[in-house]
Amino acid sequence: MTIQFWVVTVMVVTVVLAVAIVVIWRMRVGALVRRTERLEERVRQRTEALQMVTEELHFLALHDELTALINQRGFWQHADKLEMKARQGETMFGLLLVDLDHFKWINDQHGHRAGDEVLRHAAGFLQRLCDEKDYVCRYGGEEFVALVVDTSPDALRELAEHIRAQLEANPYTDRGEEIAFTVSLGIAYWLGGKDNVEAMFRRADRALYEAKETRNKWLMWNPAMDYKPSEVSAKSD
């Protein structure tokens, strides 16, 4: 064998080895790229799952489990933002406090499951009867609150009567049996100046207290409601 043969042989072997190295390198790079893509996909899926869980937890933290309405915490978050807009002159709003009449009797007579369904039924009506931009909340027990945006005192009174009449006219039906119920409502309107939602809530609660004396009616707060008989008597003396 000549030197030329060995040189050619070495060159061929070198080329073959080089090609083999390139092929193996590309295969390893391809495998690494595919593995990276799989890892990125897993990370993306887990990130999306985590985001969904976070959003679900956030929703549950601000919504009532039974009715899916805003809960008390969510109500005050929206109330604070709405109050700020009102102070800036961007909106005028009112507050409706809605309470189911004789709800304990419904639970005692028909059971707590039926009572829960009546609450869901009432919540659905309240949500539909209010505007999309309004905030309807289950505040606790059989008590609901609605923050009614861009409204007037007259419009609030009309809405309160509409809610009262519609809920009275649409009883909940349980397996063919109707469970009739009524609601009482207290109304308060944003007074401007240093007014705030907490004060509005107290005024609406005062009006509701008086409405509950006869039930199935609404009352809008007025200053006379804040004067107790004892106070009036003391002043007259």
Active site residues: 142
3-state secondary structure 168-210: HHCCEEECCEEECCCEEEEEEECCCCCCCHHHHHHHHHHHHHH
Structure token digits, residue 67:
């009715």
**Contact call for residues 138 and 125 (beta carbons, < 8 A):** no
User: Residue 115: how many CA atoms within 13 Å on its side-chain side?
Assistant: 15
**Contact call for residues 137 and 72 (beta carbons, < 8 A):** yes
CA-based nearest residue to 137, from 86, 197, 216: 197
Q: What whole-number distance in Å separates Cα of residue 131 and Cα of residue 52?
A: 28
